[in-house]
Amino acid sequence: MSGFAAMLRRELRLSLRGGGDVLTLVLFFIIVGAIVPFAVGPDRTLLAAIAPGIVWIAAFLAMLLGLERLFRPDHEDGALVLLRQAELPLSAIVAAKLIVHWLVSAVPLLLATPVLAVLLAMDLDSFGRTMISLALGTPALAAFGAIGAAVTVSIRRGGLIAPILIAPLSIPVLIFGVGSITSPQSGAATLFLAALSLMAVALAPFAAALAISSAED
Amino acid sequence: MIDLGPHAVFIIWAYIGVMLGIAGLIAWTLFDARRTASELSRLEARDPRRQRPAGTTP
Amino acid sequence: MTPDTEPRLNWWNRMANPGQFVAWTTPLLWPLVILTAVLFVLGFWFAFFNSPEDYQMGDTVRIMYVHVPNAWLSQFVYAIMSVSALGTLVWRHPMADVSMKAAAPLGALFTALALFTGALWGRPTWGTFWEWDGRMTSTLVLLLIYLGLVALWRAFDDQLRAARVIAVFTLVGAINIPIIKFSVDWWSTLHQPASVFRPDGPRMPMSILVPLFVMFFAFTFLFLVLHLKAMHTEVKRRRVMTLKRRLAQGGPA
């Protein structure tokens, strides 16, 4: 078994072992979406109009919430130091972590999106587009989040500062994510979103690995 | 001074704001420089090695 | 017999000694201060006494003389930080760390001033202080990135370790800023197809370009002076931290 596959399995087992985490994220995602009607009123046409934005904001916040477990536990118990000694380059290890992070935090959100779609009075067409845009855009959110988590991993109160760093980087994801659902140029926005995800996923393992190895020197 | 026209308020406030911002920045830079320099000289006086590397006291 | 172990130093390596850097750049400080002051006096004189009002914008054109230099600096300072970040990561140059750290708060302030003057310019021109147009929005995002970097510097205890980590984030930001700019432009034209007022749209006459250029150089030199001074302070602060650590350990045995 190659080192990369072993790393994937290790990460997957570790994240599923504390099974409550996944459920918490999904609950958080639904709750953020569900409190918006209390703030803006239960007007169905208004809700349907802003639903794509709400779903994206909820997904963005939920992805932020899951970032703490990406590198911090391994940093605290010293596993990160050991992993840096591995034959596998650190960027590959980070890539494995990123893939698993996406699987255990973004995929459950995708599965929970129908609930929000019903609550927010989405029609079938925009629901389908929302699913596609979330599937295409969450890798970019996970990648930018991984960079933010890696930069702050050696700071004791890093969980507080990471969202401040990640949010500006995530603005294009939100713009093209929501744009691919609602805008008249949704085709172009979908392509931009996919390009952004590809670029972020390609860049993030190297940037995050560099940040981690610099922080631990 | 020339007449600034109907929007004089905005022009004057823009300049005042920029001047205040820059004055604050200059004051903070100088304050920080003084504070750090005085702390450095205080610590160097207490330093057991009394070793002053060249250049730190310009 | 001692072999010649002294490495041959070029100016680049000598600059890596913080003490040398301070000693070499201190004589530059006062001439730069005087140059900046002269440029500012000249710039203000042009701006208020020796430039006409624009036929389209009227007297609000005078806000441009402080707005455009700040908007330029907001991007120039980030460019300086990115080059310094490369210096930190590639060459591990100690002065690059110091330059990065000293530039971040300066960049944040110039960006904030660009937004402030932009808002005051927008009120008479667009009728609103804040318009979600491409320029203002991406400048706001840039300000958030600067503030994030300042917060990041403050969060680290060990400044030497912080420099390399922050250099990584600075470069990630540098790659992202064009993407953010592009996405925000795309987004704002989507929501308001009507063309908004653009400062660089109409061709500007010389009577406006001259004060603009003078102010542009005045602000740029102001940044250079403050950056240099802040770098000197940062060098001293590191020395203070080293001394404090040594004193806390009860001095060397």
CB A101 within 8 A of CB A182: no
Q: What is the DSSP string of C233-249?
A: HHHHHHHHHHHHHHHHT
Provide the domain count of chain A. 1
User: What pLDDT shows up at residue A86?
Assistant: 83
For residue A189, the chain C residues in CB contact (below 8 A) are: 186
Q: Which domain holds residue A173?
A: 2-214
Please tell me if residue C193 touches chain A, with a CB cutoff of 8 Å. no
Percent of chain C clearing pLDDT 70 (strictly above)? 85
For residue C144, the chain A residues in CB contact (below 8 A) are: 164, 167-168
Closest approach of A145 to chain C, Cα-based (Å):
12
> What distance in Å separates the CA atoms of residue B37 and residue C17, rounded to the nearest whole number?
18
> What distance in Å separates the CA atoms of residue C233 and residue A115, rounded to the nearest whole number?
56
User: What pLDDT shows up at residue C111?
Assistant: 95
Minimal Cα distance from C88: which residue of A? A214
The sign one gets for the Cα dihedral A140, A143, A149, A152 is negative
User: What pLDDT shows up at residue A19?
Assistant: 64
User: What pLDDT shows up at residue A57?
Assistant: 94
The mean pLDDT value for C170-187 works out to: 90
CB C185 within 8 A of CB A185: no
pLDDT at C74 over 90: yes
Q: Which amino acid is at A66?
A: G
DSSP H/E element including C15:
helix C11-15
DSSP C27: H
User: What pLDDT shows up at residue A1?
Assistant: 58
pLDDT digits (tens, 9 = 90+) for C188-222: 876 654 444 445 555 567 777 888 889 999 999 99
User: What pLDDT shows up at residue C217?
Assistant: 94
pLDDT digits (tens, 9 = 90+) for A12-69: 888 888 667 888 899 999 999 999 999 988 888 898 889 999 999 999 999 998 888 8
How far from chain centre, in Å, is Cα C186? 26
Please tell me if residue C51 touches chain B, with a CB cutoff of 8 Å. no
> What distance in Å separates the CA atoms of residue C106 and residue C26, rounded to the nearest whole number?
20
B29 compared with A18, residue with greater pLDDT: B29
All residue ranges of chain A with pLDDT < 50 are none
Q: What is the DSSP string of C47-91?
A: HHHS-PPBTTTBTTHHHHHHHHHHHHHHHHHHHHHHHHHHIIIII
Least confident range of A117-121, B45-49, C123-127, C138-142: B45-49
Secondary structure of residue A210 in the 3-state scheme: helix
Minimal Cα distance from B18: which residue of C? C113
CB-count exposure of residue C77 (10 Å: 0-12, 13-18, 19+) = buried
ipTM over 0.85: yes
pLDDT at C130 over 80: yes
Secondary structure of residue C59 in the 3-state scheme: coil
